[in-house]
């Protein structure tokens, strides 16, 4: 008995289609997101982001909550895609990147300042005609 006999064919087709859309969207949007980051994004002493000028705190809190719900959705969808067709791990990483939690910037810095990651990020920035990130490399 094959592993996925209990899953209806229509459900599998929807999951496959959603997986393809998320994969293509992540491949298209990742370079744009990397290009939009400031050059000092991986600096350890970079000041925290401030509330955008003119934005009401209630609107900001609502948008942050919606962003966190979307991040959790991506993590759950990525976990499902680990066993279903799709880019499960990539979707979960994007979900964590979307979330807003204490220590996130330190975690991103620790990963982003690794030489191999920094080379890849700066290669993408060069392709989008942006200056390279300024960061101290870690091992």
Q: What is the pLDDT of residues 23-53, one digit of tens each?
A: 787 777 778 888 888 888 888 777 766 766 7
Of 103, 96, 104, 102, residue with least CA distance to 77: 96
C-alpha span between 80 and 106 (Å, rounded)? 28
At 69, is the pLDDT very low, low, confident or very high (cuts 50, 70, 90)? very high
pTM of the model: 0.61
Question: Chain centroid to CA 41: how far?
Answer: 15
| Residue range 110-135, pLDDT digits in tens | 877 888 888 888 898 999 899 998 86
**Assigned token pair, 28:** 């298209």
Q: Please report how many Cα atoms fall inside a 13 Å half-sphere around the Cα of residue 65, on the Cβ side.
A: 6
> In whole angstroms, what is the distance from residue 50 CA to residue 46 CA?
12
Name the band, by pLDDT with cuts 50, 70 and 90, for residue 85: low
pLDDT tier at 4, thresholds 50, 70, 90: low
**8 Å CB contact between 97 and 26:** no
């Amino acid at each position: 008995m094959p592993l996925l006999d209990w899953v209806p064919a229509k459900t599998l087709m929807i999951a496959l289609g959603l997986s393809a859309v998320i994969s293509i969207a992540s491949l298209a949007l990742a370079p744009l997101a990397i290009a939009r980051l400031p050059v000092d994004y991986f600096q350890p002493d970079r000041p925290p982001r401030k509330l955008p000028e003119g934005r009401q705190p209630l609107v900001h809190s609502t948008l942050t909550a919606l962003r966190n719900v979307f991040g959790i959705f991506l993590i759950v969808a990525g976990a499902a895609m680990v066993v279903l067709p799709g880019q499960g791990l990539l979707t979960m990483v994007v979900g964590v990147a979307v979330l807003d939690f204490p220590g996130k910037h330190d975690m991103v810095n620790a990963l982003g300042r690794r030489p191999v990651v920094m080379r890849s990020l700066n290669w993408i920035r060069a392709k989008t005609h942006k200056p390279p990130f300024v960061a101290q490399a870690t091992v």
